[in-house]
Each structure stands twice: as C-alpha cells, then as structure tokens.
Amino acid sequence: MSEVTRTTAVNRIAILGAESSGKSQLAEALATHYKTVWVPEYLREFVALNKRVPLEDDQLQIALTQLNNEESLLPQAKQWLFCDTTPLMTALYSQFYFKQVDPELQRIALQHDYALTLVTAPDFPWIADGLQRESPAVRQIIHDELVNRLDTLGIPFVLLEGALHERLLQVQFTLEFLS
C-alpha cells in the first residue's frame, strides 16, 4: 500500500484515548471552538458499515483509511486539524486483541508526526456503544498501555481530565503556546 503524503500548512492534533473517554466529543467541541474541521474515528464507520468488529486483517486498512481521511480534510482545516485517533491506537488495540501488530501498521504507527498529542483520561462515565466498546476494565488497561507506549516512544502528550469544559480549557491553554 502506498503511504499518505502529508501537508504541513495545518497543525494536526492527535486525540488519543481508550474507548468511552470522550475523544469524539472533545474533537468536535475543539473544531467548533476553533472554527475548523475534525477527523472522526474511522473505526466507528467501519463497525457501522460492516456490522462487526474488525478482524486482525482489517487493522492496516483501518489505519490507512484514518490517515487518508486526515489528508482529505486538511484543505478545509483552518490552523488546526483535530484527529480523533491515529494509527498508534489501531496498533495498540491490535496488540491487545490479536497479540501482534502487522509490520506495516507498526511502521505507520511509529510515524506519529502530530504537532500535539492529547490523551483523554478514562474519567468519563463508561457507556456501552454496541459492538465497539468492551468494558470499563478494558478501557483502563488500554489507557495505561497508551500512556506507557507514549512514554516509551518519547512522544510528549497532555493528559486531559475532567468534564468537557475543563478539557477544552486545558487544550486552549496548550494551543496558545503552539500558535
């Protein structure tokens, strides 16, 4: 598969977190606040279209589609493009569920080239979401693994906690330094 070409005129912001931790809600709220666009998590669309959770063989295509969706929304973005997940999360979930990561997915996940990485804490109430969510226990395991992985890879991140309005304030404060 060919790699997606990146445009650098817009700062891409990665919003990572375990299931039911408020990523989508935050991405949409930030896009509204900054009058820009956000990239929804493709996994949701995949599950809705296929009426099933992804299999191991689906992981690479999910990550590539997520990146292609970022690329297609870049021309509409104004200064910031808020990305509800990245291939890094796809690789992390692949490791958790399938005990391995496709080498190409791993390569793409390690190219984590975002201006800022935000991590949503699992302090929102856990809400079942059909096929896509498993349990509060898995959510905590994934969160812990994400934080460990980011630390291991040397990727700095901002941990966002609290209600949506508190998270928005945390991000606004952080983005002032990137402007």
Pairing mode of beta strands 158-160, 37-39: unpaired
Is residue 117 helix, strand or coil?
Answer: strand
Residues 146-172, mean pLDDT to the nearest whole number? 97
Q: What phi, psi does 52 have (nearest 5°)?
A: -165, 160
Q: Can you tell me the distance from the alpha carbon of 45 to that of 150, in angstroms, rounded to the nearest whole number?
A: 26
pLDDT tens-digit map of 99-139: 999 999 999 999 988 999 999 999 987 676 655 556 788 88
* CATH of span 11-178: 3.40.50.300
Q: What phi, psi does 146 have (nearest 5°)?
A: -60, -50
Non-local CB neighbours of 40 within 8 Å, separated by 6+ positions: 24, 27, 69, 84
| Cα diameter, the chain | 42
Is residue 11 helix, strand or coil?
Answer: strand
At 138 the pLDDT is: 87
Q: Where are the domains of the chain?
A: 11-178
Q: Which two tokens stand for residue 142?
A: 């994934």
pLDDT tens-digit map of 1-33: 334 444 458 899 999 999 889 999 999 999 999
